[in-house]
């Protein structure tokens, strides 16, 4: 499932792409304009994925079998990084970062989001605890449409041939 989400609030606006693939991997990227403010993340997800996505994400999260925690680091610039850490192997105390969301110093998702839906719930919960969730003044979800066939990158534009044809016509008509 792929959706485009147009959003605007005051002087900032943009279009983001939201993709939830067949293995429930979520990608959110800026396609045009400003990066999405983290404050708008929940309403954008609700609009793009429908209201039930939260139940599905939480169910998937609860079906995992590892102890977990969310760690937040904040830089001097004000940027924040949210890490999901799971204890995969108790015997060896192996606890890798299994998901990550970065928020810029301006409070925007400037690196997008690339996360398995089963790991989104605890990260989003902590983000919502730390940030104010609000809705943009304008929000529209668009189903992308195929624009038809495209030329390969190495295909000539045809400009040189057209210019030569125009020159030939002018010469033949005596209007050069």
Domains of the chain: which residue ranges? 2-145
Find the range with the poorest average confidence among 42-51, 105-114, 149-158.
149-158
d(C-alpha 3, C-alpha 40), whole Å: 16
pLDDT in tens, 11-22: 999 999 999 999
Residues, the chain, total? 176
d(C-alpha 152, C-alpha 139), whole Å: 34
Asked if 48 and 3 count as a contact pair (C-beta separation under 8 A), the reply is: yes
Q: What is the pLDDT of residue 97?
A: 97
d(C-alpha 158, C-alpha 165), whole Å: 11
d(C-alpha 82, C-alpha 23), whole Å: 23
Find the range with the poorest average confidence among 65-69, 106-110, 137-141, 166-170.
166-170
Terminal Cα distance for the chain, rounded:
56
Q: Is the dihedral of CA 11, 49, 57, 20 positive or negative?
A: negative
CA atoms within a 13 Å half-sphere pointing along the CA-CB vector of 99:
23
pLDDT in tens, 99-144: 999 999 999 999 999 999 999 999 999 999 998 777 888 889 999 8
């Amino acid at each position: 499932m792929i959706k485009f989400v147009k959003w605007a609030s005051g002087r900032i606006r943009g279009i983001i792409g939201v993709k939830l693939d067949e293995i429930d991997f979520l990608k959110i990227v800026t396609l045009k304009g400003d990066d999405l403010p983290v404050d708008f993340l929940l309403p954008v997800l609700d609009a793009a994925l429908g209201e039930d996505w939260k139940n599905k994400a939480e169910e998937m999260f609860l079906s995992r079998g590892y102890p977990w925690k969310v760690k937040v680091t904040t830089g001097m610039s004000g940027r924040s990084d949210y890490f999901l850490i799971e204890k995969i192997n108790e015997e060896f105390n192996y606890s890798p970062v299994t998901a990550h969301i970065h928020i810029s110093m301006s409070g925007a998702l400037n690196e997008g989001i690339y996360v398995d839906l089963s790991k989104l719930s605890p990260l989003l919960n902590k983000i919502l605890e730390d940030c104010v969730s609000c809705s943009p003044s304008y929000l529209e979800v668009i189903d992308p449409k195929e624009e038809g066939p495209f030329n390969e990158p190495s295909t000539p534009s045809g400009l040189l041939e057209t210019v030569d044809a125009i020159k030939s016509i002018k010469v033949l008509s005596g209007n050069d």
